[in-house]
């Protein structure tokens, strides 16, 4: 290879590396420059807005973003209390279940409002969390999120929660819901609605941790909605009225 070709190849490799690194830097940069201004939520998840939304860190104890590109484009903003409750819950479950990491999907824009292609996620109180998986050896696994499977949203799991040799860990999912309920209440929130594929509800409630959900189980939607929600769980929080 000539010197000119080698130089061109190095430049192309450098450009490709910078292109891949840019979303990571921007995603973390959104967190670094974020302010401490309290959030304000108005309206409903389907018709609302958000003031002073805060970005979720793209990675941290017990969680990782579904897409650094999505995070860099500002698609993971939430109400500040929701952010804190999510981070606390992820860390708590990860501490109790070594190796478990939750993949966080889309949440909303910094100012809320319409969030294509979602029907909700407008007031900063909604979050998508991909289902926790285990492989054939019983080890924790993340949902694969790649451009060719719509960043995870295009996956199709069967009625038992299986995807090849991967299976939903319904017990860890129930643990997360329980932790979210606890951490949300500590932040002045409550878990208002949980949407998961209807055929998974009995499997979730039958898991050891699912049997301990108590009143929280009433927040789990039993019927079919606009999206099957097999690869991810949609959670709506609500601000608790001051006493």
pLDDT tens digits along 128-174: 999 999 999 999 999 999 999 999 999 999 999 999 999 999 999 99
Task: Say which DSSP state 103 is in.
Answer: E
Per-domain residue ranges of the chain = 3-239
How confident is residue 223, by pLDDT bands cut at 50, 70 and 90? confident
**Secondary-structure breakdown of the chain: helix, strand, coil percentages, each rounded to the nearest 5:** 40, 20, 40
Over residues 72-92, the pLDDT tens digits come to 999 999 999 999 999 999 999
Residue 17 parent element (H or E):
helix 3-32
pLDDT of residue 5: 55
CA 105 – CA 74 distance, rounded (Å): 12
For the four alpha carbons of 143, 130, 229 and 76, in that order, the dihedral sign comes to negative
Burial environment of residue 60 by CB neighbours within 10 A (0 to 12, 13 to 18, 19 or more): middle
Quote the pLDDT of residue 130. Answer: 98
User: Smallest Cα–Cα separation from 156: which of 104, 70, 228, 65?
Assistant: 228
Q: What is the pTM of this model?
A: 0.90
> What was the pLDDT predicted at 225?
80
pLDDT at 116 over 80: yes
Distance separating alpha carbons of residues 127 and 233, to the nearest angstrom: 8
Question: Which residue reads 């830097």 in tokens?
Answer: 25
Domain 3-239, what fold? Muramoyl-pentapeptide Carboxypeptidase; domain 2 (3.30.1380)
Q: What burial class does residue 127 get, using C-beta atoms within 10 Å of its C-beta: 0-12 exposed, 13-18 middle, 19+ buried?
A: buried
The per-residue pLDDT of the chain, averaged, comes to 91
Task: Report pLDDT digits (tens) over 15-37.
Answer: 344 456 788 999 999 999 999 99
Contacts of residue 155, Cβ cutoff 8 Å, sequence gap at least 6: 143, 144, 149, 163, 230, 231
Residue 17, pLDDT score: 44
């Amino acid at each position: 290879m000539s010197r000119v070709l080698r130089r061109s190849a190095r430049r192309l490799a450098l450009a490709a590396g910078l292109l891949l690194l840019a979303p990571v830097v921007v995603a973390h940069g959104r967190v670094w420059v974020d302010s401490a201004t309290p959030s304000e939520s108005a309206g409903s998840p389907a018709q609302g807005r958000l003031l002073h939304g805060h970005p979720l860190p793209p990675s941290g104890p017990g969680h990782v973003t579904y897409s650094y590109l999505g995070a860099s484009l500002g698609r993971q903003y939430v109400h500040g209390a929701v952010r804190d409750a999510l981070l606390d819950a992820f860390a708590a479950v990860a501490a109790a279940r070594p190796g478990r990491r939750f993949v966080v999907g889309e949440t909303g824009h910094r100012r809320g409002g319409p969030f294509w292609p979602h029907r909700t996620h407008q007031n900063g109180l909604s979050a998508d969390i991909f289902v926790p998986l285990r492989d054939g050896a019983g080890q924790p696994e993340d949902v694969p999120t790649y451009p060719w499977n719509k960043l995870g949203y295009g996956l199709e799991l069967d009625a038992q929660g299986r995807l090849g040799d991967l299976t939903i860990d319904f017990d860890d999912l129930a643990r997360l819901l329980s932790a979210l309920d606890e951490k949300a209440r500590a932040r002045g929130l409550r878990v208002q609605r949980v949407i998961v594929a209807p055929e998974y509800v009995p499997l979730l409630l039958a898991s050891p941790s699912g049997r301990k959900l108590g009143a929280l189980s009433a927040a789990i939607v039993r019927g079919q909605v606009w999206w099957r929600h097999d690869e991810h769980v949609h959670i709506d929080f609500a601000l608790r009225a001051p006493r």
